């Protein structure tokens, strides 16, 4: 028998065919310098050399084989001054010439896989990208290190441990830079950790502040008044299993408001009745937090899923928008988290503006009460309290997960890579925290006694065009298999990964105008211009 080939992938760049370029791309607005392109994480580029009238002449300009793909490729490449910086599985980092695809440097931290003694990652050895600041490329590693590399040659400038070495924390998300600080979170709630974010001095790696997202053991004291208040919403000995609330992805920055926003994850364990037997909201799980970038203090919070019982994280992409809503200009933060509702929240005060269901399959709650801002749960949703196992939608993979949203200001639409699914929730009769394995507090093995899984109302995967001002769907396109992230452009286009293809859609109507086979799964596409030519780039696994 032949050995199974190692998976590999490619980073592709596409551009218009020769003769299709009517005018050179503008020099301004040509880079993709941040994870979401801008601090607001809109993933919108005003570049319009590639547009609805000529996108059908898009062709591959170059491709570069990625040596490590792991579970899948979720990276968002950054492009500045003609150089593209990206990541792959096991925190592998590379720099390429953005015009030719020629390799400039690569850096491999040599992190072993889980099977070979490496970090235990809940959901794959992925990495979503780097941050850039001056002459440094900053990356979070799967084993918990934060490393600054030299932009010119990839050599290590500084390294710091953001977690205790050997612990069950991991890093898969991209760092964010605000001022002279770089902020990074972590993952690992399934293994029993306590979530936090940390800011480091970008030039030296020295820790500036750390903010925990859930309280620790009260006997050890509280790090802040926010943690003291949060502890009032927990019961039992929650700290033994860590509590969860990890910040493994979403962040956004508002420099004018002087706030950094983070999204927090699920509880550890999932089951609230095994985590906090007396109930409670369990702050600050499954919440959007606004932090002071000077010291990390929590300025406000909005909890999308109080007392999370279902792994409904709020770590999905965040986006800052200025919208006219009901005749009034509003500065808002929007999110489509796992729980299936699209939230519009005042980003200065944390007040809920509106929340509407975007998932076709949503059975854990009927709606979000506009007065209290809380979900109205269905009678069967609290499976631990009722003692009755139940299929609920969405399941722990969520109605939206890591695939990136994008915004088109001309169309006034947010593009959501959405998912419909359900899951069987059953509380473990007894729960004892066990280090080194998944601790969900639920029965995960199907012994054949479960009822048949209910059918779904909606397609498994789709792209939704969503009007955030009116909080409603405008159009949808069904995915062919899985899907990846999105980018929207001034050419009235939305690019997204659907099945094994990268497709370009009309941003206003959803009509597919172009597509190309790129591989098994696509990450998050970006667009940039250099040398008068606009490119679209995406990482995709090929085997």
| pLDDT tens-digit series, residues 119-130 | 999 999 999 999
Q: In this predicted structure, what is the pLDDT of residue 68?
A: 77
Joined together, the tokens standing for residue 126 give 């992925």
How many Cβ atoms sit within 10 Å of the Cβ of residue 463? Answer: 25
Q: In this predicted structure, what is the pLDDT of residue 1?
A: 38
User: Rounded mean pLDDT of 48-76?
Assistant: 93
Asked if residue 193 belongs to a domain, the reply is: no
Rounded Cα distance, 162 and 31, in Å: 30
- Judged against a pLDDT cut of 90, whether residue 27 lies above it is answered with no
The CATH number of residue 486's host domain is 2.40.10.480
Task: Work out the mean pLDDT of the chain and round it to a whole number.
Answer: 95
Joined together, the tokens standing for residue 250 give 């979403």
User: Is the preceding peptide bond at 394 cis, omega within 30 degrees of 0?
Assistant: yes
Rounded Cα distance, 277 and 267, in Å: 13
User: Rounded mean pLDDT of 528-535?
Assistant: 96
More confident call, 482 vs 145: 145
Asked if residue 94 belongs to a domain, the reply is: no
User: Rounded mean pLDDT of 262-277?
Assistant: 98
Q: pLDDT-derived band of residue 28, with 50, 70 and 90 as boundaries?
A: low
Q: In this predicted structure, what is the pLDDT of residue 519?
A: 80
């069967």: which residue's tokens?
380
Least confident of 6-10, 118-122, 480-484: 6-10
Q: pLDDT-derived band of residue 23, with 50, 70 and 90 as boundaries?
A: low
- Judged against a pLDDT cut of 50, whether residue 313 lies above it is answered with yes
Q: pLDDT-derived band of residue 3, with 50, 70 and 90 as boundaries?
A: very low
Least confident of 75-79, 182-186, 203-207, 539-543: 539-543
């944390």: which residue's tokens?
350
> What's the CA angle centered on 171, arms 168 and 177, to 5 degrees?
145
Asked if residue 381 belongs to a domain, the reply is: no
Question: For residue 239, what is the DSSP state?
Answer: G
Count of domains observed in the chain: 1
Residue 311 annotated among the catalytic residues of the structure: yes
Rounded Cα distance, 95 and 85, in Å: 5
Write down the H helix ranges in 197-288. 225-231, 272-275
Identify which of 409, 416, 415, 255 has the alpha carbon closest to the alpha carbon of residue 324. 409
- Judged against a pLDDT cut of 70, whether residue 25 lies above it is answered with no
Asked if residue 486 belongs to a domain, the reply is: yes
3-class secondary structure for 33-64? Answer: CCCCCCCCCCCEECCCCCCCCCHHHEEEEEEE
Q: What is the pLDDT of residues 144-194, one digit of tens each?
A: 999 999 999 999 999 999 998 888 999 999 999 999 999 999 999 999 999
- Judged against a pLDDT cut of 70, whether residue 7 lies above it is answered with no
Rounded Cα distance, 433 and 205, in Å: 34
Q: Is 149:155 a contact under the CB 8 Å cutoff?
A: yes
Host H or E run for residue 386: helix 383-386
- Judged against a pLDDT cut of 90, whether residue 520 lies above it is answered with no
Asked if residue 537 belongs to a domain, the reply is: yes
Strand partners, 320: 333
Q: What is the pLDDT of residues 397-413, one digit of tens each?
A: 999 999 999 999 999 99
| Owning domain of residue 512 | 481-542
Q: Is 180:202 a contact under the CB 8 Å cutoff?
A: yes
Q: How far apart are the first and last CA of the chain?
A: 18
Q: In this predicted structure, what is the pLDDT of residue 238?
A: 98
Joined together, the tokens standing for residue 313 give 């994280």
- Judged against a pLDDT cut of 80, whether residue 530 lies above it is answered with yes
Q: Is 229 helix (H, G, I), strand (E, B) or coil?
A: helix
Q: Is 89:121 a contact under the CB 8 Å cutoff?
A: no
- Judged against a pLDDT cut of 70, whether residue 20 lies above it is answered with no
Q: Positive or negative, the Cα torsion across 22, 23, 26, 31? A: positive
> What's the CA angle centered on 432, arms 427 and 433, to 5 degrees?
105
How many Cβ atoms sit within 10 Å of the Cβ of residue 421? Answer: 18
Rounded Cα distance, 94 and 109, in Å: 11
Identify which of 238, 159, 230, 167 has the alpha carbon closest to the alpha carbon of residue 200. 159
- Judged against a pLDDT cut of 80, whether residue 539 lies above it is answered with yes
Asked if residue 532 belongs to a domain, the reply is: yes
Identify which of 197, 201, 178, 176 has the alpha carbon closest to the alpha carbon of residue 186. 197
- Judged against a pLDDT cut of 80, whether residue 6 lies above it is answered with no
Active site residue: 125, 273, 281, 311, which one?
A: 311
Q: In percent, how much of the chain has pLDDT > 90?
A: 89
Q: What is the pLDDT of residues 210-251, one digit of tens each?
A: 999 999 999 999 999 999 999 999 999 999 999 999 999 999
User: Judging by beta carbons within 10 Å of its beta carbon (0-12, 13-18, 19+), is residue 46 exposed, middle or buried?
Assistant: middle
Q: In this predicted structure, what is the pLDDT of residue 267?
A: 98
Joined together, the tokens standing for residue 96 give 């390429």
Q: What is the pLDDT of residues 349-364, one digit of tens each?
A: 999 999 999 999 999 9
Asked if residue 495 belongs to a domain, the reply is: yes
User: Judging by beta carbons within 10 Å of its beta carbon (0-12, 13-18, 19+), is residue 492 exposed, middle or buried?
Assistant: buried
Rounded Cα distance, 136 and 203, in Å: 8
Identify which of 283, 68, 294 has the alpha carbon closest to the alpha carbon of residue 199. 294
- Judged against a pLDDT cut of 50, whether residue 22 lies above it is answered with yes
Asked if residue 334 belongs to a domain, the reply is: no
Supply φ then ψ for residue 80, to 5 degrees.
Answer: -140, 130
Question: For residue 442, what is the DSSP state?
Answer: B
Question: For residue 170, what is the DSSP state?
Answer: B
- Judged against a pLDDT cut of 50, whether residue 92 lies above it is answered with yes
Q: In this predicted structure, what is the pLDDT of residue 2?
A: 40
């Amino acid at each position: 028998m032949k050995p199974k080939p190692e998976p590999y992938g490619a980073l592709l760049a596409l551009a218009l065919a020769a003769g299709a370029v009517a005018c050179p791309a503008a020099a301004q607005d040509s880079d993709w310098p941040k994870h979401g392109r801008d601090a607001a994480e809109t993933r919108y580029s005003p570049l319009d050399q590639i547009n609805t009238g000529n996108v059908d002449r898009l062709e591959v300009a170059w491709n570069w084989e990625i040596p490590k793909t792991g579970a899948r490729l979720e990276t968002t490449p950054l492009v500045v001054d003609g150089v593209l910086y990206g990541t792959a599985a096991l925190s592998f980092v590379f720099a390429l010439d953005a015009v030719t695809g020629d390799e400039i440097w690569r850096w491999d931290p040599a992190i072993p896989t889980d099977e070979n003694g490496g970090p235990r990652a809940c959901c794959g050895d992925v990495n979503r990208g780097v941050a850039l600041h001056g002459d440094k490329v900053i990356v979070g590693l799967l084993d918990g290190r934060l490393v600054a590399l030299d932009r010119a040659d990839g050599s290590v400038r500084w390294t710091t441990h953001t977690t205790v070495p050997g612990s069950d924390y991991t890093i898969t998300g991209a760092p964010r830079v605000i001022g002279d600080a770089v902020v990074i979170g972590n993952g690992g709630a399934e293994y029993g950790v306590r979530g936090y974010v940390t800011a480091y001095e970008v030039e030296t790696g020295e820790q500036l502040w750390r903010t925990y997202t859930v309280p620790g053991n009260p006997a050890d004291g509280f790090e802040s008044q926010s943690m003291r208040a949060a502890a009032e919403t927990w019961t039992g000995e929650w700290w033994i299993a860590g509590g969860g609330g990890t910040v493994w992805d979403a962040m956004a920055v508002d420099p004018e408001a002087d706030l950094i926003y983070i999204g927090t994850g699920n509880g550890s364990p999932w089951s609230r009745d095994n985590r906090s037997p007396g109930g409670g909201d369990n702050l600050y799980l499954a919440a959007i937090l606004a932090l002071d970038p000077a010291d990390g203090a929590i300025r406000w919070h909005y909890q999308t899923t109080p007392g999370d019982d279902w792994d409904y994280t709020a770590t999905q992409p965040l986006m800052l928008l200025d919208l006219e809503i009901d005749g009034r200009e509003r500065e808002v933060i929007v999110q489509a988290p796992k729980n299936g509702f699209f939230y519009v929240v005042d980003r200065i005060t944390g007040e809920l503006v509106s929340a509407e269901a975007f998932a076709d399959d949503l059975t854990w709650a009927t709606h979000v009460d506009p007065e209290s801002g809380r979900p109205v749960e269905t009678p069967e949703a609290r499976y631990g309290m009722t003692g009755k196992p139940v299929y609920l939608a969405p399941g722990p993979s969520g109605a939206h997960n890591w695939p990136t949203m994008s915004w088109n200001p001309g169309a006034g639409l947010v593009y959501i890579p959405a998912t419909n699914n359900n899951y069987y929730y059953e509380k473990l009769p007894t729960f004892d925290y066990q280090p080194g394995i998944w601790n969900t507090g639920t029965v995960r093995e199907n012994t054949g006694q479960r009822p048949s899984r209910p059918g779904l109302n909606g397609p498994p995967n789709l792209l939704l065009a969503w009007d955030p001002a009116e909080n409603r769907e405008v159009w949808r396109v069904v995915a062919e298999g899985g899907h990846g992230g999105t980018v929207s452009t001034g050419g009235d286009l939305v690019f997204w990964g659907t099945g094994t293809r990268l497709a370009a859609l009309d941003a206003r109507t959803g009509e597919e105008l172009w597509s190309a086979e790129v591989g098994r799964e696509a990450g998050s596409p970006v667009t940039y211009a250099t040398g008068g030519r606009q490119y679209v780039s995406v990482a995709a696994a090929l085997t």
